[in-house]
Amino acid sequence: MADKTRVAFLGLGAMGLPMSEHILAAGFPLTVWNRTAAKADALVAAGAVRAATPRDAAQGADVILTCLPTQDEVRDVLTRPDGLLAGLARGAAFVDTSTIDPSASQQLIALCAERGVDMIEAPLSGGTIGAKSGTLTMMIGGDAAILERVRPVLESMAKNIFHVGGAGMGQTLKLCNQMIAGAQTIALSEAYAILHAAGVDAKLATDVFAVSTANCVAIQQRVPVPGVLPNSPATNGWRAGFATEWMAKDLFLSLQFARSLDIPVAQNAANLQCFEQAIQAGYRKLDQSVYGKLLIDAVDAHKKHE
């Protein structure tokens, strides 16, 4: 694919904005759209074109990407009267990087095929850190030939690109990834609450865990105690690398998908309840590791009343 491939990007949130910045920096002519138009200001100042509607963004684009919170929003942006399908040319390639239900993704890919539009799913892993550094992992579901057509665009923002199977396979793998990641976060939260209650130094414990069987991505990035890791959300005001509300959404999708396959996922169901508890406590927009704060605060409150 030529370097002058025309790209459109819709959804300039915590992930979509830095992803778009990498596409623009790679030299691709870029058109952007976002519900809140002001979020495109920095990109427009850097050379991107602002579209008034999804249809306008799609017109003339060779590759169109979306990064949206839910499957309802993906479907709406695609099918509304001024949506992508109203502007996409036959033979254009549509890449949805959102995390949605596998069956919903299969339906959207089939709908696009009926309209002569090639679509693949490309859910992401790496959070805002990966999006900003251009080191995301993409799990591609759909036609491998479509992936090869859009690969140069994807490589501008992702380090690891895996074709994992047909439509729905990428979303399935992503939901399973979230089940594992969410379990790590809850396990850390509970463990560090116990350490706090027992008076064990959190930094010392982290050093031990880092060279023990407990070592995992959460130990490296999401210790829920301020000051232990300089770049962790806990040390930086719980700024979201991946917000609590989005982890809860992904675990809910994985729970529903597992039930459709008659697979018991008791651990996942329990973890979802923990994240929902954090949301109820007002931590919806904060990083998922804030559940650890919830538990540690409860320990401190209990000590005060002893």
Which pLDDT belongs to residue 305?
79
Token couple for 142: 């759909």
What is the average per-residue pLDDT within 274-291?
98
CB distance 32 to 11 below 8 Å = no
Q: Which residue, 234, 138, 142, 151, is CA-closest to 185?
A: 234
Residue 215 to residue 105: CA distance in whole angstroms? 34
**Beta 124-125 vs 136-141: how paired, if at all?**
antiparallel
Residue 239 to residue 293: CA distance in whole angstroms? 13
Q: Could you identify the residue written with the tokens 């959102």?
A: 98
Instruction: Give residue-wise pLDDT tens across range 25-58.
Output: 999 999 999 999 999 999 999 999 999 999 999 9
Rg value, the chain, Cα: 21
User: How many beta carbons lie within 10 A of that of residue 53, not counting itself?
Assistant: 17
Which residues fall within 8 angstroms of residue 168, CB to CB, at 6 or more apart? 102, 103, 105, 106, 121, 141
Catalytic residue among 174, 203, 249, 303, which? 174
Instruction: Give residue-wise pLDDT tens across range 102-130.
Output: 999 999 999 999 999 999 999 999 999 99
Catalytic, 174? Answer: yes
Share of the chain above pLDDT 90, in %: 95
Provide the whole-model pTM.
Answer: 0.94
- DSSP for 159-172 reads EEEEEEESTTHHHH
Helix or strand or coil: residue 59?
coil
Average pLDDT, the chain: 96
Task: Report in angstroms the alpha-carbon separations of 197 from 91, 238, 293.
Answer: 60, 21, 13
| Domains and their CATH numbers in the chain | 7-166 (3.40.50.720), 172-304 (1.10.1040.10)
CB distance 152 to 183 below 8 Å = no
Which pLDDT belongs to residue 3?
62
- The pLDDT-based confidence of 2 (bands split at 50, 70, 90) is very low
Residue 106 to residue 183: CA distance in whole angstroms? 27
